[in-house]
Amino acid sequence: MQLNKISIFSFLSFLFLGIASAPVAKAVCPLCVVAVGAGLGLSRWIGLDDVVSSIWIGALLASLSIWTITWLNKKGWGFKYQKVVISIAYYALVLIPLYYSDIIGHPLNKIFGIDKIIFGSALGTAVFLASLWLHSYLRAKNQGKSFFPYQRITLSVIILLLTSIILYFLIK
């Protein structure tokens, strides 16, 4: 099944809507961005499949989007539709060059009929946002306090790592 431009656009549109609907209160710290970026670098360095590396790409783009939105709000520079605009900008800056360099859209680089990089990025974004939700949920259950130091980053990295490992063994 050939992945066409309309299906890529539709898939990415739903992805961006999910990020845009994330509440501002779920801010991402710089340490989370660095940890996710390190996970991406490590996965590429050891030669993992594109779908596994792309999980970390999606998480990194989501964390950068949330971090930028939070930073703009703290500076008082927030604007209408900033969640959508910033998310689209980050994803476009990464995915469009990959598409035009034929890395995305290669007919032999698919999983479940979807390009591995698109699939992995979407999965990584969803998993990262779910880990932020889990952190917020756990804090709410503990009277607004984390159960352990660096809970947010630990949950994010562990859940992304588990997702990567599971996907690695599923495609192998």
> Does 102 or 139 have the greater pLDDT score?
139
How high is the mean pLDDT of the chain?
Answer: 81
**Confidence band (pLDDT; 50, 70, 90) for 5?**
low
> Does 1 or 153 have the greater pLDDT score?
153
Only one residue has tokens 């990415």, namely 12
Q: CA angle at residue 106 from 104 to 109, to 5 degrees?
A: 90
Name the percent of the chain lying above pLDDT 90: 46
Domain ranges of the chain: 5-171
Integer Cα distance of 87 and 19 in angstroms:
7
pLDDT of 18 above 60 = no
pLDDT reported for residue 118: 93
Instruction: Give pLDDT tens digits for 140-159.
Output: 999 999 899 888 889 999 99
Query: Helix (H, G, I), strand (E, B), or coil: what is residue 144?
Result: coil
Q: What's the whole-number mean pLDDT along residues 111-139? A: 93
Closest CA to 17 of 80, 88, 113, 95: 88
CA-to-CA dists, residue 22 to 114, 124, 133, angstroms: 25, 15, 9
Q: Which H or E run includes 168?
A: helix 151-171
pLDDT reported for residue 2: 46
Only one residue has tokens 């952190």, namely 135
Q: What's the whole-number mean pLDDT along residues 40-62? A: 82
Q: What's the whole-number mean pLDDT along residues 38-62? A: 81
**Confidence band (pLDDT; 50, 70, 90) for 172?**
confident
Integer Cα distance of 27 and 56 in angstroms:
18
**Confidence band (pLDDT; 50, 70, 90) for 12?**
low
pLDDT reported for residue 39: 64
Q: What's the whole-number mean pLDDT along residues 84-91? A: 94
**Tokens (6 digits) for 24:** 């501002």
